[in-house]
Amino acid sequence: MRRIPGFVYLAAGVTALVVLAPIVNWIYQAARKPSELLYPVSDEWFKTPAETWRTYGDLFVANSTAIMTPDLLAALAQQEASGNPVARTYWRWSATFRPFEIYRPASSAVGMYQVTDGTFEEARHYCIRDHRVVGEGPWYDFGSCWFNGLYNRVLPAHAVELVAANLDRRVRETLARSGIRQATLRQKQELAVITHLCGAGAAAAYAARGLVLVPGQHCGDHDTQHYVQRVMTLAKTFAALDKGSSS
């Protein structure tokens, strides 16, 4: 029997690597971020503003606070993911020697608010009770949060409550640390939007400037001022939808 040339084994190995590497990488990424399993159906859940309000309006109202009003909660959901509860981030290439970092999701963000892992771990310790933010507590405390460990970012009811509680709490803490006592609702809501987009550091800097937006500031791929303006414009749209559905 003729001996198989070495280059044939080499070619077979390279072919197997080319075929199997993407499959193994996808399995690894899906294990690290299970929401990627919903990729085949995720595009079917995008909504227009009217559809978002019709589908989730009751959740926005039920989980609203004095700062995180129903229209603002709806606007953030529309801006982030067009009301898609299983929205996912794009994948990106990276020049690295770590094989599972070469091609992977751009971030850990999940759901219609694109909540990252870090924000989720912080937010799940709070909930909304009678339109106020309360913290988790023992099961026998009827005024505290229960079963927070079961919260999930892809469930709309959980996502809305998590974001409402987290941003309301963060806005109040930022204003208190900055010594700002007289902020308008618009300023508080802009602070909430900046906190959501940019994080606590940028929110603190915004408060330190007297709640004034700086032209040209960016958070990731977003122009902060334009992002805030888009969200606030969407909030007006949802306020009109709310008024129309109530009349």
* Residues constituting the chain: 247
pLDDT confidence tier of residue 24, bands split at 50, 70 and 90: low
Asked if pLDDT for residue 132 goes beyond 90, the answer is yes
- pLDDT of res. 191: 98
pLDDT confidence tier of residue 209, bands split at 50, 70 and 90: very high
Domain ranges of the chain: 1-32, 42-246
Asked if pLDDT for residue 147 goes beyond 80, the answer is no
pLDDT tens digit string along 68-117? 999 999 999 999 999 998 887 665 666 776 765 666 665 667 889 999 88
For 186, the token pair is 């618009």
Rounded Cα distance, 68 and 234, in Å: 14
Q: Which helix (H) or strand (E) holds 222?
A: strand 222-223
Q: What is the CATH number of domain 42-246?
A: 1.10.530.10
Rounded Cα distance, 101 and 73, in Å: 33
Non-local (6+) Cβ contacts of 199 within 8 A are 219
Cα 151 to the center of its chain, rounded Å? 14
- Which residues are bridge partners to 218 per DSSP? 223
- pLDDT of res. 213: 87
For 212, the token pair is 């004034």
Residue ranges of alpha helices (H) inside the chain are 6-32, 39-42, 49-62, 70-81, 117-123, 156-178, 185-198, 200-208, 224-246
3-state SS, residue 128: strand
For 43, the token pair is 């595009």
Rounded Cα distance, 81 and 167, in Å: 18
